[in-house]
Chains A and B, each alone.
Chain A
Amino acid sequence: MLTGWEVFLEAAIKAVAVFAMLLTVTILLVWMERKIVADMQNRIGPYRAGPWGILQTVADGLKLLFKESVTPRKVDYAIYIAAPVAALVPALLIFLVIPIGQPFHIGDRLIELSGTDLNVGVLYILSLSSMAVYAVVLAGWSSGSKYPLLGAVRASAQMISYEAAMGLALVPVILFTRTASLTGIVDAQGGDTLGFLGVWNVVLVPSFVIFFISGIAETNRAPFDLVEAENELVGGYHTEYSGFRFAMFFLAEYINIFNISAITVTLFLGGWYGPDFGTPAAVAWVFPILWFFLKTFLLVFVFIWVRATLPRMRYDQLMSFGWKRLIPASLLWIALSTLAVAYRRLGLPWT
């Protein structure tokens, strides 16, 4: 029987596991980015710390821990301290609703490989990713210095506009799958339509493209990295942060990259579904997890690829692209997909 104690234990294990996984993945991610960008620029990249330099991030992180956290005299101290936490917490929380593998049984107890299955999972993700704006704006405001403030002003405008496009891009997905729970959306993409694959939501190409572009903008990555544009704003919102507080911003940025990739995989690329090559039931949980991480890291690679390829956009280009291209395009796509869904369910109006 389910006791309260068991439920609590399961939740605690899952939360700690997600936390540890995200931190490990971040270490990999930073190393991956440095290596891949180096490859694309005919350089070598980090190679001294550990095999292929894989421990470079660990070394950098330790260095940040031991550095002094300089506090400028003009900061608004309470907000200044709270901002890095406000950046990191939503980044860690978002991942809790993403299913990373097939549910399996321990005894007669069904364990789902996600933190929890919210029936409003998509809304949960959207609301938490809007929380990230607060961290950036508060950090910029409380630093009491001009460059962080400029970065924060840019961030508020950029992230709010792209948040709109992002939310609108998700509407057709919910319309087609008829659920807002991420587990439900993954289940809707399963099946054996093409022999081994289900019909992934990636057939909703406009949604996929708009969501991924806004995802890049939401994480403040190149070519939308005006918020922290090094050569204009020194470091943007985190100019006045050093030591571990800076490390928290850094961590949040990379966890967000992983989150956006994982969400895109879950919503559009079939989540953990993939060919399992007829593995026996005892180890059936292996392949789904592998597929999930494979797909996610593929999208992370695209993130890095975009960063290595495209130059930073101008501010007015960024705004006009968001408001005049992405949002109208997603509105049009919502209208079209609504008609398609209505036709599938009700038939043509004159029949």
Chain B
Amino acid sequence: MGWFSEMLGPFQGFATTFRQMFKPRVTVSYPREKRVKPQRFHGRHILNRYPDGMEKCIGCELCAGVCPARCIYVRGADNPPEQPVSPGERFGFVYDINMLRCIFCGLCVEACPTEAITMTHLFEMSVTNRADAIYTKAELLVEPDGTPNHPQPANPLIDLDELRLGSGWLRATSPSGRADYEGVTAWTPSATAGDLPPEQGQRRPGPAAGEADEVAAAGDVDRDGEEAP
């Protein structure tokens, strides 16, 4: 029978291609139907605000420094004492991102000490003019009530609600960048997403005595406290 099955060998390919005809399609007809994106999708950036409307950005330029594509330009300015823009000493006076150069690696999000810059789920950013691809603070910064801005109006391709999903990427990083804090939520509430609930296996550092001790034992109560507004 060896020679017989060997003879049928080339025809098994025909059976395979025929069987494929009845299997479900893997193609998504994109503009008509959109795939659900993963929670930590790297899309367009937004600059967040605290729930009270204060800007999170403190103009430290760490994002610009870490950016491998060097597409971020930040200039800080001193907060006016009578009407502070951000809770710190300084705020981001100019904040530009050149989306043509951005490689959407998310290092700016990791570098940001105040979680001011996060990545959303929106990726439809085509422009007809190269200058339009440079997003300034006007487009990046959300409104005081948390409504995100976008240079183009909403249409079948641009779902502006995707710009509200800017928190997923934060959860990917180890809270505060320290392994000691694994399992403890460390993100701050924002105007867009509100106060994010802890994820599975995480807990909020609260006033409960046992938990506070545990955090103290981990050795950095101050930093944890500092991040809350």
A residues touching B (Cβ–Cβ < 8 Å)? 36, 39-44, 47, 305-306, 308-310
State which of B18, B26, B29 has its C-beta within 8 Å of the C-beta of A42.
B26
Distance in Å: Cβ of A41 to nearest Cβ of chain B: 7
Number of A-B contacts (CB under 8 A): 32
Given contacts A305-B14, A309-B13, A309-B14, contact A44 B25 (CB under 8 A): yes
Are A40 and B29 closer than 8 Å at their CB atoms? no
B23 at the interface (CB under 8 A from A): yes
Residues of B within 8 A of A47 (CB): 29
Would you call B217 an interface residue if the criterion is a C-beta within 8 Å of the partner chain's C-beta atoms?
no
CB B11 to nearest CB in A, in angstroms, measures 9
**A310, closest chain B residue (CB):** B13
Interface residues in chain B, defined as those with a beta carbon under 8 Å from any beta carbon in chain A: 10, 13-14, 16-18, 20-21, 23-27, 29
Task: Supply 16 further A-B pairs (C-beta < 8 A) apart from A308-B17, A309-B17.
Answer: A39-B20, A39-B21, A40-B18, A40-B21, A41-B20, A42-B20, A42-B23, A43-B25, A43-B26, A43-B27, A44-B27, A44-B29, A305-B14, A309-B14, A309-B16, A310-B10
Chain B residues with CB below 8 A from A36, complex form: 21
Q: What's the nearest-Cβ distance from chain A to residue B16, in Å?
A: 8
Residues of B within 8 A of A309 (CB): 13-14, 16-17
Nearest Cβ distance between residue B81 and chain A, in whole angstroms? 60
List, in ascending order, chain A residues with CB within 8 A of B29's CB: 44, 47
CB nearest neighbor in B for A306: B14
Q: Bound complex: CA of A42 vs CA of B27, how far in Å?
A: 7
B13 contacts which chain A residues (CB < 8 A)? 309-310
How far, in whole Å, are A305 and B18 apart by their CA atoms in the complex?
A: 8
Q: Complex Cα distance A309/B29, Å? A: 25
A3 vs B20: C-alpha distance when bound (angstroms): 57
Chain A residues, CB < 8 A from B27: 42-44
Selected from B20, B24, B26, the residue in CB contact (under 8 A) with A40 is B20
C-alpha gap A250/B224 in the complex (Å): 69
